[in-house]
Amino acid sequence: MEEQGDRKIVKIPATITVKKFSEVLNLPVSKIITELLKNKILATINEEIDFETASIIAEDLGFATEEYTEVSDDQAMTLEKLIEICKIEKESGKNLRSRPPVVTILGHVDHGKTTLLDTIRKASVAEKEAGGITQHISAYQTKKKGQFITFVDTPGHEAFSGMRERGVSIADIAVLVVAADDGVRPQTKEVIKYLKEKKIPTVVAINKVDKPDANIQRVKQELADNDIVIEQWGGNYICAEVSAKQNIGIDELLESILLVAEVEDFRADDKRDALGVVLESHLDPNKGPVAIVLVKTGTLKVGQDIVVGKTYGRVRKIEDFVGKSLPFAGPSTPVSIMGLNDTPNTNDVLQVESGKTAARLRSKGLTDAAGSQRERLTSQNMMKKIEDEKVQKLNVILKADVQGSLEAIEQILSTIKSDEVSINYIEVGVGSITESDIKIAAASGATIFGFNAEPTSVAKRLAESSGVTIKTYRIIYELVEEVKKLLVEMLPPEVIRTDHGKMEILGIFKTGKHDMIVGGKVIEGKIVKKSSVEVYRGEKMIGKGNISNLQQNKVPADEVEKGNECGLVFEGDTKIKEGDVLASFVEEERKKTL
């Protein structure tokens, strides 16, 4: 442990359990948990916290922190560590061979990114996507002038910014797509900001140039206004004018990508064991857990033992993006991996391990870690929202076709803020809705939401007999709207009070058991018939009641204004005296919204 001024420097990994964190700081676990609670985070001794959280707690306790990215036997490698390894590897210059560039296509929703990819790879994904928005992330390869280019497809909607950033973080080159008929939009600006922060080589593609209302010069000007100045205007950004639908300018775009790749000179060590990143995963009924992985460096071979985040297995089969079986996969190759014991999370890092290490991981029960990670995600998210036990919880079981969909749904749902209601994830996973999900839902009173995930026939029958509600969707925003609707129904109504005025009591005419006839003068606002009243004696409120009848000059009235005298029938148990003040008001209930 080093010293920084008067403070000790502690090295903390990207994630760390509360118990391990207490050992690093050499403090009792109870002290750490108390400090976490002060920051509104409830974490048990075996739950993990991220570096940012640990850093804040450590600094509050008088320590300085540094992120520690070395990988130990019981800690999975992070994406940041992988990127760092690739950077060091390139700088070393050892065993390096040229590799295909990894390209991501980014831009505003509806600007034609998926159609552009379709044209490039001669496949139609856009038509299959519900709602016309790409809702998964995936990867493909194409060949130009004998050279491969790997494309990573990322969702375009603004709610998918986290997935989009992941697409950028593993890409070498970004293609910024801007529609010629629409120009630079808010999401375009968001992407430009990110590309500049990460210093990612960028090619501009102005799409839809065939449209009658296309204005290419305006788009170039808007890009320049956002500090993206193209080469023709004296800047550093190559620009291709394309029409994805009409297949115009696609060759020029690919040549621009290869030109940037040539300048950047992307290389990797294909002799070492593979390191890769999980783009998405799903549970195939015939193949079992399938992970879509981009190999970043090294070569992955069939038969190797691998660890992927919190899961492990032996590579049983490798398929390329068109389903062709491969004996191995080198750097920048997107592949499907079969042989894992469970579906990994997006962003998990694949690393090759010896059989001995894999066996040890098996004995440690890393499969349980996947469950604890889900539990950690739930408890951390929940405790940030839940300040006390008055919060009503909507119990939800969420199933989706792939991990990327789960991530996107949870990201969107996390933006729903309320101090009165919250989502309690009972179970989250990929694959079909099963009998086990129904049993858990029945026990917890949860509603099951499926995104591109249908119940099995057995599960459907069991749900009907158990009274469990299953709702399935093909468009994420329809699912989100339904969850919002259920949360709104749980919200208690909001009581809106409208104060009318005050009246000073000048005379008592009749006193009944539960009512009184009184007279007085309106001293503020107005007194309204059928309104509620509060009775004040001096500064103190001594009771409440209602006005059932109101008269002015012995004539029935609906309301009496300030300065006038009136008589009224007060209904209530409070005994009014001369000099008391009645405050007239109404209360109405309104349904709250999120």
Give the rounded percent of residues in the chain with a pLDDT score beyond 90.
44
* DSSP type of residue 273: B
pLDDT at 161: 58
Q: Domain for residue 564, yes or no? A: yes
Nearest to 272 by CA among 86, 73, 147, 84: 86
* DSSP type of residue 482: H
Per-residue pLDDT tens over the stretch 241-284: 998 888 899 999 999 999 999 999 999 988 888 999 998 888 88
CATH number at residue 358: 2.40.30.10
Beta pairing partners, 307: 312, 351
8 Å CB contact between 302 and 310: no
pLDDT at 391: 77
pLDDT at 206: 93
Q: Domain for residue 583, yes or no? A: yes
- Stretch 526-530: mean pLDDT, rounded? 95
Give me the number of domains the chain comprises: 5
8 Å CB contact between 43 and 25: no
Asked whether residue 288 carries a pLDDT value surpassing 90, the answer given is no
Q: Could you say which of 362, 381, 397 is where a domain stops?
A: 362
Q: Which of 6-10, 108-112, 299-303, 354-358 has the highest mean pLDDT?
A: 299-303
Give the three-state DSSP class for 516: strand
Local confidence band at 385 (pLDDT 50, 70, 90 cut-offs) = very low
8 Å CB contact between 280 and 403: yes
Nearest to 430 by CA among 319, 299, 335, 289: 289
8 Å CB contact between 355 and 301: no
Both 248 and 107 in one domain: the answer is yes
Both 335 and 384 in one domain: the answer is no
Both 375 and 467 in one domain: the answer is yes
8 Å CB contact between 387 and 41: no
Interatomic CA distance for residues 454 and 472, integer angstroms: 7
Nearest to 182 by CA among 241, 105, 110, 233: 110
Residue 490: partners with Cβ closer than 8 Å, 6 or more residues away? 392, 394, 421
Q: Which of 86-95, 117-126, 226-235, 435-444 has the lowest mean pLDDT?
A: 117-126
* DSSP type of residue 513: S
Q: Domain for residue 76, yes or no? A: no
Q: Domain for residue 86, yes or no? A: no
Q: Domain for residue 410, yes or no? A: yes
Three-state SS sequence of 9-47? EEEECCEEEHHHHHHHHCCCHHHHHHHHHHCCCCCCCCC
Interatomic CA distance for residues 391 and 491, integer angstroms: 10
Both 417 and 503 in one domain: the answer is no
Copy the structure tokens of residue 299.
Answer: 């070569």
DSSP strands (E only) in 468-514:
470-473, 494-511
pLDDT at 166: 61
Local confidence band at 125 (pLDDT 50, 70, 90 cut-offs) = very low
Both 381 and 503 in one domain: the answer is no
8 Å CB contact between 182 and 111: yes
- Stretch 25-54: mean pLDDT, rounded? 85
Q: Could you say which of 460, 490, 520 is where a domain stops?
A: 490
Q: Domain for residue 91, yes or no? A: no
Both 23 and 63 in one domain: the answer is yes
* Residue 135: C-alpha distances to residues 16, 126, 132, 474 (Å): 31, 10, 9, 10
Instruction: Provide the mean pLDDT of the chain.
Output: 84
pLDDT at 386: 44
Q: Could you say which of 490, 514, 530 is where a domain stops?
A: 490
pLDDT at 266: 93
Beta pairing partners, 239: 204
Give the three-state DSSP class for 416: coil
Per-residue pLDDT tens over the stretch 473-489: 998 889 999 999 999 99
Beta pairing partners, 289: 283
8 Å CB contact between 401 and 284: no
Asked whether residue 297 carries a pLDDT value surpassing 90, the answer given is yes
pLDDT at 371: 46
Q: Domain for residue 318, yes or no? A: yes
pLDDT at 71: 42
Both 221 and 132 in one domain: the answer is yes
Task: Kindly report the backbone phi and psi dihedral angles of residue 56, in degrees, each rounded to the nearest multiple of 5, phi listed first.
Answer: -65, -45
Q: Which structural domain range is residue 186 located in?
A: 100-265
pLDDT at 164: 57
Both 343 and 409 in one domain: the answer is no
Both 242 and 130 in one domain: the answer is yes
Q: Domain for residue 92, yes or no? A: no
Both 502 and 483 in one domain: the answer is no
CATH number at residue 186: 3.40.50.300
Beta pairing partners, 352: 306
Local confidence band at 538 (pLDDT 50, 70, 90 cut-offs) = very high
Between 406 and 133, the higher pLDDT residue: 406
Both 127 and 260 in one domain: the answer is yes
Local confidence band at 369 (pLDDT 50, 70, 90 cut-offs) = very low
Copy the structure tokens of residue 453.
Answer: 């995930």
Task: Kindly report the backbone phi and psi dihedral angles of residue 309, in degrees, each rounded to the nearest multiple of 5, phi listed first.
Answer: 60, -115
Question: Which amino acid, residue 365?
Answer: G
Local confidence band at 117 (pLDDT 50, 70, 90 cut-offs) = confident
